[in-house]
Amino acid sequence: MQQATCHAFDNVELRAGERRLLIDGKPQPLGARAFDVLMTLVAQRDRVVSKDELLDAVWPNLVVEQNNVAVQIASLRKVLGAAAITTIAGRGYKFSGGMVRTVPAPGHAAAPSPGVAPAVRDAGKALLGRSADVRRLADLLSQHRVVALTGTAGVGKTSLAQRLLCDVAHRYPQGTVWIDLTPNDIDATIFRSLSRTLGIEPCKDDPLENLLQALPVRKVLVVIDAVEAAPDEVARAVQLLLRRAPGLSFLLVGQMRLRLRDEQVLRLEGLPVPVNDVPPDQALGFPAVALYAARAALRDPAFVLDEHNVRPIIALCRALDGLPLAIDRAASAPAEGPDVLQLALQRSHDLLPERERALLRRLSVFEHDMPLERVLAVAAGDDGALDTWAVLDALTELVDRSLLSVIPGEPPRYRLLASTRRFAAAQLSASGEFAAYQRRHRMALALPDRPSPMSVDPTSSTGHAPHLQSA
């Protein structure tokens, strides 16, 4: 007998015991074999499932045509959308329909660790180089009700948050809620997601008040991913829930902090990469290289890190800034490594106001660390669109959104990751500004090194907000 659980993702519920698929609460027609294929893919969603595995799971002890799998996959995509199941050429299929929450089916008691899906419990067991970050994050959540996990695109924030749930689920006996606010799902509000996941029936007259009355007795961790997609909405909702629901704690995952009262911040950096060329055995002591080697071995069991390939692999990891998303894809699908990072950066770029986009592309002319004085000399421009004050404000926003790093000092300096700089340089070329800002950069290099009359205090209340100081 199947366990009475419900796998929920986005607006979809997969009720195992009832063998029913619901979208927005409405049952969907789905054949028995298609249901079994979907259950198998959801249960094994942390990996690629081969066609043979699906045949064995769905048609046990039967000899059937191999294209039966493709037929069932096609029927599932018609119901769930083409992006819900990814075909990995030559390897099999992988569920990619969104973050899955496993919760008790309606009418059944809660299972141990409710709200944490099996794949989440297993997620990130091999999060190389992140053990200290997981412990630090768990410690922060034990002491504070709102914690922000920030970092640039592709640095592994979501994977780390998933792994955290493995370690802290026992603290929240009434479950965890995962809310993904990617740009395609902004209409799925936080309040609606909370109600749906916690099984709180909304009241037609005042659904929000009904939710708020039910929440104070709940001890729940709410994880909100991709907060940069709707920062104002998230900030308002979290502030309200912090006041009205003392049992709720929040982990806010994204490229920016929201500057909420008592918000604690943990910023993720790329995985360590060797600064110089080192032998293979030493290179494997660096998490970025170890991650590449582990993923490459999954793609090709004959792969070995040796003296012939260690130098280019170190160079690749360095060029990708130690970002796990890009390294993972570069190792498992070499042609896609840089592309997947560019897509992630494009999404970050599209969320920026035009002022910040302009500054980001203009900063790409700097190949190394940037002193504030030269940033102002280059980025302000002759068109008057960005004056000094606008540059300072935009600079803060880029730092807040993890697209620019501050190197503490007096005065401070700024740094673009190599991958971000390459993306921004492409934007500069596309804008037609490349020649003009290269020329401004050459002129700025002729400026003497001296303290700027304006500097940014990286220890201000936001952690790195501009603060004007007298010369």
Q: Please tell me the number of Cα atoms within 13 Å of 230 on its side-chain side.
A: 19
- CATH 3.40.50.300 domain residues, the chain: 112-267
Assigned architecture for domain 112-267:
3-Layer(aba) Sandwich (3.40)
Element holding 292 (H helix, E strand)? helix 287-299
Q: Global pTM?
A: 0.65
- CATH 1.10.10.10 domain residues, the chain: 5-99, 352-445
Element holding 392 (H helix, E strand)? helix 388-400
Structural contact between residues 177 and 211, judged by C-beta atoms closer than 8 angstroms = no
- Give helix 190-198 / helix 207-214 axis angle, nearest 10°: 50
Query: Whose CA is closest to 152, among 352, 424, 341?
Result: 341
**CATH: 1.10.10.350, 3.40.250.10, 3.30.70.20, 1.10.10.10. Which one for 5-99?**
1.10.10.10
Structural contact between residues 92 and 50, judged by C-beta atoms closer than 8 angstroms = yes
Q: What is the residue-level pLDDT of the chain in tens, covering all 471 positions?
A: 334 456 777 677 777 666 778 887 777 888 888 888 888 888 887 778 888 888 888 887 666 666 778 888 888 888 888 777 877 767 788 887 766 665 544 444 333 333 333 333 333 334 778 888 999 999 999 999 999 999 999 899 988 988 888 778 778 877 788 888 875 555 457 887 787 777 777 666 676 877 888 787 778 899 998 899 889 889 998 999 999 888 899 999 999 999 898 899 999 999 999 999 999 999 999 999 999 998 888 888 888 899 999 999 999 999 999 999 889 888 887 665 566 678 888 888 888 999 999 999 999 999 889 888 888 888 876 655 678 888 888 898 899 898 999 888 777 889 999 889 999 999 999 998 888 888 888 888 876 655 544 444 433 333 333 333 322
The dihedrals phi and psi of 5, each to the nearest 5 degrees, come to -125, 165
Residue 175 corresponds to which tokens in the numbers above?
A: 């479950």
How far is C-alpha 4 from the chain's CA centre? 31
The count of other CB atoms within 10 Å of the CB of residue 141 is 22
Structural contact between residues 349 and 423, judged by C-beta atoms closer than 8 angstroms = yes
Q: In the chain, what is the straight-line distance between the N-terminal and C-terminal CA atoms, in Å?
A: 75
CATH topology of domain 352-445: Arc Repressor Mutant, subunit A (1.10.10)
Structural contact between residues 209 and 203, judged by C-beta atoms closer than 8 angstroms = yes
